[in-house]
Amino acid sequence: MSEEEANLDRDEEEQVDEYSNVHTSVIFEAIRREGKHELSRPLSALWWSGVAAGLAISTSVLAKGFLVSILPHADWAAGISNFGYTLGFLIVILGRMQLFTENTIMPILPLFLSPTRSNFVQTARLWGIVFAANMTGCLAAAVVLVHGYIVPDVRFEGILSISRHYAEATPFEHFAWGIPAGLRLCRILCPGVVTP
């Protein structure tokens, strides 16, 4: 028995056994239902969750920028500084906030299964609200970072260097960076077609 297993009580062990045998069609249906729920959420709930996600995702650039500013200029430093980038995503995901780039699988399943005008409008509504809210949250974070003088100049230079890297990338580079995310979506939606 491993150390992790030793920390589970009998009820928790039964839950692990129950969930480890869940059929993929059950998981698919759970995701579809969650997508339907997301599509029917009120505008205010989507908006404020999206603004919060925009603020939270800004901690990715903040954390990575801090690491860039304190690490030496060595080949291994980029690998370490990229761990900072995960911070904002962890906050958003664990907080169950609405982030546009993480809002693809669940709400799109109802549209794929039933490509009606109503489902298309609901999906477009969700994406529009969440995207605008995310941009508002990011703008608010940027204004505070730039004009609030809450980050020391040395650390702020690290944040600016990260931001410049993404701002100066070509559209093709951004497209190429998005391909792995698209493959991940395809693997989830079409598990028999796209293999890892």
CA 52 to CA 99: how far, in whole Å? 9
Fold classified for 3-189: Glycerol uptake facilitator protein (1.20.1080)
On the question of pLDDT at 187 being above 60, the answer is: no
pLDDT on residue 179 = 78
pTM, two decimal places: 0.73
Taking all residues of the chain, what is their mean pLDDT, rounded to a whole number? 82
User: pLDDT tens digits for 168-184?
Assistant: 888 888 888 777 766 65
On the question of pLDDT at 163 being above 90, the answer is: no
CA 177 to CA 68: how far, in whole Å? 21
Angle at which helices 117-147 and 24-39 pack, to 10 degrees?
70
Q: Sign of the CA dihedral 136, 138, 142, 144?
A: positive
User: pLDDT tens digits for 35-68?
Assistant: 888 888 899 999 999 999 999 999 988 998 889 8
Task: Name the token pair of 86.
Answer: 């995960």
On the question of pLDDT at 104 being above 70, the answer is: no
Angstrom distances, CA of residue 112 to CA of 61, 65, 116, 127: 34, 39, 9, 15
On the question of pLDDT at 133 being above 90, the answer is: yes
One-letter amino acid of 58: S
